[in-house]
Structure formats: C-alpha cells, structure tokens
Amino acid sequence: MAPMREDCLVCGKLVPRAHGVAFRDRRIVDLFCFVDRADLASAPINQRLLGVHVLLVDDNESTMELFREALEYFGALVTTADALDGEAILRHMSPHVLVTDIAMSCDGLDTARQVRLLHDETGLAIPEVAISGSRHDRDRLRGAGFAAFLPKPLDPFVLADVVATLHHERRKNSPRGGGR
C-alpha cells in the first residue's frame, strides 16, 4: 500500500502531525483551507451553528461539558451521550454532525463504526469529527472514515468552523436538495 500523503489537498503544503485536518478521499486538508469559506465568515460568530444538531459523544463528563458549552455558544442544538448511549440515540434520531472524543478509549471509534453501518443501511450520512489528545491518531482516524481530526487542546472556534463547514457540505450534497 502506498504511504498516506501528508500534504494538504488544497494548497499542497505539508501539514505537521499535530495539526487538525479534514479528510477528503483519504487525503488531508489543513483546517485553514477547509474552513476558508465566504458563507461562513458572513454569519455572526455566535450564530455559525444555528440550526445545527450535534451529537456529542464523550465518556468523560467534564470534557463533555466543555465541548457542549463551546458548541452551544455558537448556537448549536447539542445532544450528549457516552459511547453506548450514542449508538442507541442514533437509532431514534439523526443529528447533522457527530463530534466524538476518542482519547479515552476505543468507544468513540465504536460509535463511529455504528454511524457508518447506519449510513449503509439508510443512506443517511452523518459527518464525524474526532477530537483526540494523540497526534498519532491521525492516520487511524483517516482509515476509520472520519471527516475531520481536531487535536487537544481544542480551540472552540476551530471546532465551530469545522462543524459548520461539514454541515454546509452535507446539505449541499444531500439528495433531497438541502435537507434542514
């Protein structure tokens, strides 16, 4: 197998391991290139996630509260769950974006796998953002099908921009021509 490339798909610059990235067709896009959108900049900063439903999965209550607070500041509707709840919740509702902290255990990866199974069954695509304290996780997450990797310590503004961009792309690509 060819080694996975480390340069940004958009600008061609090498992206250091510790940086957050989005994944596109198994290539990486640095976050500056990924969120660099005019329509994002036009929204007031605390309304970037207005109307976006995020399922936040974390097995640590205090970090979950931190991430929840950040997402809600930007206007998102946030449902929280530990990994096991996450799977159950997905059977009852379809969030727009899933954000999962995978640092503590493999549970986050399990939930992510569940989301993809759901995708295969129903055709419902939910982009998944992984937050991880380990810079070595990047290739693993890329292989696992995540939409983006954000390193800790997390910048909440970066998180908001990434979630907003993923939601925007998902709507654009929706077969129903927009979705919610």
- Summarize as ranges the residues that interact with Zn ion (CB under 5 A): 8, 10-11, 30, 33
Smallest distance, Zn ion to C-beta of residue 36, A = 9
Our CB check for Zn ion shows the closer of 11 and 124 to be 11
Our CB check for Zn ion shows the closer of 27 and 113 to be 27
Smallest distance, Zn ion to C-beta of residue 41, A = 17
User: From CA 112, how far away is CA 90, in angstroms rounded?
Assistant: 11
Smallest distance, Zn ion to C-beta of residue 30, A = 4
Our CB check for Zn ion shows the closer of 8 and 130 to be 8
Helix axes 156-173, 61-73, angle to 10 degrees: 70
User: From CA 170, how far away is CA 125, in angstroms rounded?
Assistant: 8
Residue of 142, 117, 140, 112 lying closest to 128 (CA atoms): 112
Our CB check for Zn ion shows the closer of 8 and 98 to be 8
User: From CA 50, how far away is CA 60, in angstroms rounded?
Assistant: 26
Please name the amino acid found at residue 32: F
Smallest distance, Zn ion to C-beta of residue 13, A = 5
User: From CA 62, how far away is CA 43, in angstroms rounded?
Assistant: 29
